[in-house]
Amino acid sequence: MAVKLAQRLIAVEEYYKMAEADILDENDRVELIDGEIIEISPIGSKHAGCVDKIVALLNRLNRPDILIRGQHPIRLGKYSEPEPDVAVVKFSPDYYSSGHPSAEDILLVIEVSDSSLEYDREIKLPLYASAKIPEC
């Protein structure tokens, strides 16, 4: 008979404490999704080029009321801090240096999927939708 172990969710604050304690480091390719630390694919040159092109095109909008963020975390509740490839967020005078944007700040999320299509569709899209992000 198999024994099922209880799973404990990791909160965003605990995730950051893990980094402070060197359990995670800045070179780890991970993100926090629904309380689980998920390893993500390395960023290939085609992926990076596509993300940079999208960011450059969106910056041409030249709108003072928004910020275009490339591959930076967003805070979605207590247990998730994904890193979308591109996020269009409401302008913040401190450029979100006091805390990552939350769902209420996000206008658009873009995921570029060359090797991560299934993960982006099956995991991240429902996460963004449940956070009521208007466009993803």
Average pLDDT over residues 86-104: 97
Quick check: 107 pLDDT over 90? yes
Residue 116: the pLDDT is 78
Q: Which residue has the higher pLDDT, 52 or 113?
A: 52
Closest alpha carbon to 80 in 37, 41, 40, 112: 37
Query: Where are the chain's structural domains?
Result: 41-130
Strands (E), 56-114: 66-70, 86-90, 106-110
Q: Please, are residues 77 and 100 in contact by the beta-carbon 8 Å criterion?
A: no
Quick check: 135 pLDDT over 80? no
Quick check: 9 pLDDT over 70? yes
Residue-wise DSSP of 11-34? PHHHHHHHHHTTSS-TT--EEEET
For residue 65 the two structure tokens come to: 């009321």
Helix (H) or strand (E) holding 37: strand 36-39
Closest alpha carbon to 58 in 105, 108, 102, 106: 108
Residue 71: the pLDDT is 94
For residue 46 the two structure tokens come to: 């085609």
First vs last Cα of the chain: how many Å apart? 43
Which tens digits make up the pLDDT trace of 16-57? 999 999 999 888 999 999 999 999 888 899 999 999 999 999
Residue 41: the pLDDT is 86
